[in-house]
Structure formats: structure tokens, C-alpha cells
Structure 1
Amino acid sequence: MDAGVGGAAGTGMVVVFYRPDAACVKRANRLGYFGTCVVVDNTEQVRDAAALGLEPHIVYLPNGANLGIATAINQGVETLIARGCSSAILFDQDSEPSDELLQALPRTMERELARGVKVALVGPAYEDGRLGGIAPFVRFGMLRLHRIAPVGTGPVEVDFLITSGSCINLGAWPDIGPMDDALFIDFVDLEWCVRARKRGYSVLGAPELKLTHSLGGEPVRVFGRPYPGHGALRHYYQFRNAIALIKRSYMPWSWKSTELVKLPGRLVIYSLFMSPRTEHLKMALLGIWHGLTGRLGALSRG
């Protein structure tokens, strides 16, 4: 078994690539020196690790097509389980964690497990300067999210964490199950966290740990407030998966109520303030229709 991150035995990392640039490759190569690092590449028609510039210590899984974030994470996690790892830290290709974060996440997990806490995953607070700095952790609440300031030194119970920077307890993976492939992208992390909590596992935010992470593209400002910018295709998945999950009985009504309140506002913002406006509106409405009719997976352009 490989030594894990910061000397914690059995911790590996999964990085998902999609059309990476040289900086993404450099970041992945660095992670590989902290433990087993699996790069799952969703880039179309790319299958050569050496041509990308990945070093030999990286475990490279090329899909040759975009199979979605959920499938890629599942492939990486299953690879780490097969190699005997007990935990997996997930990263987007543009995430650049500090040495401290790489060491502290698995140690926090181990400490909580030793205390008898049934942990699914532990994650840091994330910081995106474009959106106003360090984002709060959240709990679901009727009609609105309850925001928890990332302060203090002890882990706090939350309802979900974003994928990048999350450290998963692989001992819980068979019980909770893999990420939902059908969602493809968007709400994948949230849906998995809901299933984990339904099975009695804790989802823990570590307020003393921070990860610089860019949420989406360049934000747009609406009445002085920044909103993450995405392409029209990404908004298709956001609306489709929100509707699809609202229809699922195991999703909590507290979350459903929040989404039902937010969806009309998002539709207005995306169709009026993001260019090209007609395309954003078209893809959002298509996503709503496919969510209602149960059409999931990758959007076929055929």
C-alpha cells in the first residue's frame, strides 16, 4: 500500500480532468508526491498521459469522452479502493490545496472516526474572492438555507459539501453507494451527501481548513450581488437535475422548498443578465422539461 497524504496511511486523491491546461497537469503531478493520485480524464479523444505531461507516478484513467463528473469520481474512487486506500480526497482540476490541507483532512477524518463518529466525509471551507471571500457552510431549512460561518477549530455538522476538497471515508462507500452517474454534473455532491446522511453518516465541515476554489466562470453582478457565471449547457444540467431531485422522495423537503423558491429567480437572472440570453433561456427551459420527463444522463446533441 502506498503511503498516504502527509504520512496518513491509505489516503489517496482523485482529480477529474476536462480539457486541462498545463497548469492543471502541473497541479496533478504535485499531488502525486503526497500519495496515490488518480487522474480521470474526461477529455474527448485524449488517451496519452505522457503527451499531456503527466509524470509516471500518476495513475491515469483516460475515458476519451466526457462521461460526467459523477462517473469520473466513481472510477477514481474504485481505483483507490482496489489499491487499499481507506480515504479519498477529491479535487477539481483547478484546485490547488495547501500542504496543510492535504495533511489535515485525513487526520481530521481519522480523529473523528476514533471518537466513534460515523463519518461520510470531511471538507474545508472554500474561498472564492470573486464571490466575496470565504463561503459559509450550509444546512437545509424551509424556504432558505441556514448559513454557518466557518469559524472555530472543531468540525461542524452540515448537510452537504462541494466535491472539491472533500475527503471521503471509503469504508462507508459500499454502504452509501457511488455518485449518481445519471446526474452527470451539478448536484452530484449534494445528492450523495443526502444519501450519506439518510444512512446515518455525518458530513463534517472543518472551519479551520480553507481551499481556494473558483465556483463557475466569471461572475455576473445583479443589483450589486455576484452570481457564478456558467455556460448555457451547464445551466441546462442545473435546472434539469434540480427538478429531477425535487421529484425524488428521499430528498428532504427543506432542500426542495429552497430550490422551488430559487428556481424562478435563477431563470430570470440567467435569461436576462447572461449572454447570449436566448441560448441561456432555451437551455434552462429544456433542462426543466427533461427534469420533469425524467430524461437524465449526458445531453445528446443529435
Structure 2
Amino acid sequence: MSHALPEEENNSGRLRDPTAGAVVIFYRPDPACFTRANRLASLIPLVVVDNTPGANPAQRGQLDARIEYVASGKNEGIAAALNRGVEMLRAQGCEQAFLFDQDSEASATLIDGLLNTIRSLVHRGQKVAIAGPAYHDSRLGTITPFVRFGKWRMSRVPITGQEPLEIDFLISSGSCLNLSAWQEVGSMDAGLFIDFVDVEWCVRARRAGYSVLGLPWLVMEHSLGDEPATFLGRRFAMHSAFRHYFIFRNALALILYRSYMPLSWKLSELVKFPVRLVVYTLLSGEPRKQFSMICRGISDGLRNRLGPLC
């Protein structure tokens, strides 16, 4: 992928913009992940960082030749992998970077909408750090509302209108970073490994005076977790015990040791603790393993012990 080359036209007639790129994180990808990555590479220059343990360059499989494939050789976490991909795009002169999970479905409409909005606002002098779409989770059957942090509680922002909404955080998948903000805000916190990485980065961006924008007219399909469970009439996204370790650990570490995290976010996470403990333990099908990993996460969070699970 070279930015010295002229713009390249893809099969749909859309020009691949060499000043914007995308990062996709692989972890034990199935064939559909390779298909999605190849489809994305026809729209925008792409870096794939493979966090599959033992992965090597020979395992790029049927990836499009234009894709830069990086095999980490281990699961280094979502934050470190995103940092690696973003830095590669920055080194190649990209001004914006899209972030995607391996199961994210991207479209030309999404990419053009985010790029046009960011560039228009930056041209008018607005400091934009990141923009992203609304998210529809087919498993939960809902479009996730955007969120703002109040003094004591978080508020939900309706997904309506044709104007960018000033919000306080976005999930990373499907979002578009404005790389002029990257150096000032800093990279993703690799110590967090996976959960709350996007929340923590957006908080730092807002503190640095940058906007975090939700674009309600753009909606992306995105599944949060495994098959959801129902408890007291509510549906909860479920994860593996491995993920629940990080959810509890990182929430506690951010609550106790990061003074810049908003009080309303901290209170919200504390309220969720007992509910998550019950739901994740009793409705997972593996209560002992879940309970053990959650307790381990709580213990490590209390001690601010971050990094990968050892």
C-alpha cells in the first residue's frame, strides 16, 4: 500500500482515497472474516493485524494482495493491535483511520459519510477526534443510543436527525479517527488490553478539547458479545469468562486509579457490578468458571494489575 500512487478505482467505481485507511483486528478469523476484509480493501487501504496466537505471515490466506497483513504471533490485546495498525497508517501519510472488528460490516456509504463529515468540520475549524455511526445489534434487536456523561448520571441520546451529535464516547468498531488528534490525545491504553479501551480514549480526547461525534443517520450492524441472556425481562450481552475478567478488572482499575474518568461513568459501572455478577455467573452455563474469573478480575482491578491475563 503506497500513498505515492494515484487514487485507485474499485469495482464499484468508487475511488480508494489514499489519505484515509482502515485497521481490522483478526482473532481466530473464519473464512467470512477474510471475505469482509477483502471487500473493505476494495473501498479503502487496509491493514489487518492478526492477534491469533501462533499466527505468521504465511497465514494471510486469501487476503487481497493490497492488504498489509501483520501477524502479532500472540494475542496482544485490542488496544496494542489498534495502536500498531494506526501507526502504520500514520507513517504512510493517512489523515483518518477507520477501526473495525473482524465481524464488522462496512459499506461505502458508512466510509464516505464519516470521512465527509470529519473533513467538513475540520475544514471549518472544529477539533474532531473521532466520529462513528449508531449501532444495530441484531441479537439484541436494538439500536444502541449514544451516551453523554452528566455530573451524577449518564444520559442516553436519541438516534435521530441529520446532524452530528456531540457525545462522550463511541465503541471503536466502525469509528473513524482523525489522526491530527492522535499525537495530542495519545495512543490507546494497551494495559487495558480489551474492555473499556474505547471509553478511556474518548474521555482523554474530550479532556484535550476534541469532539467525539455520533452520526445518527449512519447505522452499522454490530453484535456485542455472544448470544444474549434474558434476566428480569431485560436482555444482556454475554461474553466468555475470559472477557468478563477484563470487564470487571478494567472497570475497577479505571474507577479507583484514573481520576479523570467521569464520576457519572464510575457510578454507572458500580451499579452494574452486582447485576453483572449474577447474570454472568448464573446464566452462562459455566457458573464456577465465570465466578472464578470475575473474582480474579476484581482482585486484579483492586490492585491496578493491568496487561494481559497471565
TM-score bucket (shorter structure): over 0.9
Q: Does 2:258 correspond to 1:266? A: no
Q: Which of 175, 179, 203 is equivalent to 2:212?
A: 203
State the Cα deviation string for residues 149-190 of structure 1 (Å, max 9, x = none): 111000001110001011000011000000000000000000
Query: Quick one: distance in 1 between partners of 2:254 and 2:143?
Result: 27
Instruction: Give 2:302's aligned amino acid.
Output: L
Query: Quick one: distance in 1 between partners of 2:60 and 2:138?
Result: 33
Whether contact under 8 Å (2:189, 2:201) holds in the other structure is yes
Aligned residue number for residue 278 of structure 1? 288
Structure-2 change in CA distance of 1:107 and 1:49 (3 Å): farther
Q: Which of 43, 48, 52 is equivalent to 2:52?
A: 43
Instruction: Give 1:237's aligned amino acid.
Output: F
Whether contact under 8 Å (2:16, 2:45) holds in the other structure is no
Whether contact under 8 Å (2:253, 2:302) holds in the other structure is yes
The alignment-based identity, stated in percent, is 53
Query: Quick one: distance in 1 between partners of 2:106 and 2:223?
Result: 13
* Worse-matched range after superposition: 53-62 or 184-193: 53-62
Instruction: Give 2:159's aligned amino acid.
Output: P
Instruction: Give 1:123's aligned amino acid.
Output: G
In the superposition, the TM-score normalised over structure 2's length comes to 0.93
CA apart distance, 1:142: 5.1
Q: CA RMSD in A?
A: 1.5
Instruction: Give 1:235's aligned amino acid.
Output: H
Instruction: Give 1:41's aligned amino acid.
Output: D
What's the secondary structure of 2:309's corresponding residue?
A: coil
Instruction: Name stretches of at least 5 consecutive residues in structure 2 with no aligned partner.
Output: 9-13
CA apart distance, 1:115: 2.0
What's the secondary structure of 1:130's corresponding residue?
A: coil
State the Cα deviation string for residues 8-39 of structure 1 (Å, max 9, x = none): 45110000000000000111111112221000
Query: Quick one: distance in 2 between partners of 1:54 and 1:43?
Result: 16
What's the secondary structure of 2:235's corresponding residue?
A: strand
Q: How does 1:6-45 map to 2 (within 5 A)?
A: 8-45=17-54
Q: Does 2:82 correspond to 1:73? A: yes
* Worse-matched range after superposition: 151-160 or 257-266: 257-266
Instruction: Give 2:308's aligned amino acid.
Output: A
Whether contact under 8 Å (2:16, 2:42) holds in the other structure is no
Structure-2 change in CA distance of 1:241 and 1:50 (3 Å): closer
What's the secondary structure of 1:289's corresponding residue?
A: helix
